């Protein structure tokens, strides 16, 4: 009995230590670091929704509370591996600056992004925004539209997603 309590406590401590800071985007989401997100996407076959932000960014600050309280994004997020990166953990690799380094940026990627980025970006850009900043989202409706497009385009969802679910 004491051993099972100790094991449970250790697992809880490990889980808390591995928890990724939601940075105000919403603790109800199952956020992953980029590396853990790759692993989870490979394991589940779900596409990745990768949110990049900075704590000092005015546009990020405006988007966070909208994102956090959006029931529709929360529902759609169950079909993605949710990845978030900010100040100190944002990647600097050029593959994450497809059309610039502005923020916030949201990429939708298939599970093979890490190994073959040229073949794994899901064609889900912000079609309602500035064409010079394809991955910038200023509103929830823009994010929802791209989430739905990413799900419709991803190989896993092509088999089983219906318009009704989106």
The string of pLDDT tens digits covering residues 19-69 is 689 999 999 999 999 999 989 998 998 999 999 999 999 999 999 999 999
Structure tokens, 30 = 């199952």
State the residue range of the domain holding 98.
21-160
- pLDDT at position 85 over 70: yes
Residue 60 counted as domain residue? yes
The answer, yes or no, to whether residue 5 has pLDDT greater than 50, is no
CATH code of the domain in which 104 resides = 3.40.30.10
Q: Is residue 62 part of a domain?
A: yes
Domain-embedded: residue 98:
yes
Q: What local confidence, expressed as pLDDT, does residue 161 receive?
A: 46
- Domain-located, residue 34: yes
User: Into how many domains does the chain fold?
Assistant: 1
* Residue 7 is assigned to a structural domain of this protein: no
Two tokens, residue 61? 């600050």
- Does residue 118 belong to any structural domain of this protein? yes
SS3 11: helix
Residue 4 lies inside a defined structural domain of this protein: no
């Amino acid at each position: 009995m004491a051993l099972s309590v100790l094991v449970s406590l250790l697992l809880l401590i490990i889980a808390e230590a591995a928890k990724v800071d939601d940075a105000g985007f919403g603790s109800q989401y199952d956020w992953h670091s980029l590396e853990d997100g790759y692993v989870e996407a490979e394991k589940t076959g779900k596409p990745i929704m990768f949110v990049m932000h900075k704590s000092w960014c005015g546009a990020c600050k405006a988007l966070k509370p909208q994102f956090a309280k959006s029931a529709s994004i929360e529902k759609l997020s169950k079909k993605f591996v949710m990845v978030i990166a900010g100040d100190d953990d944002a990647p600097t690799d050029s593959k994450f600056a497809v059309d610039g380094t502005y923020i916030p940026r949201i990429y939708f990627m298939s599970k093979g992004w890490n190994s073959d980025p040229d073949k794994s970006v899901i064609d889900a850009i912000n079609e309602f925004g500035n064409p010079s900043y394809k991955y910038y989202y200023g509103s929830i409706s823009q994010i929802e539209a791209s989430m739905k497009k990413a799900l419709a385009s991803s190989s896993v969802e092509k088999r089983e997603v219906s318009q009704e679910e989106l």
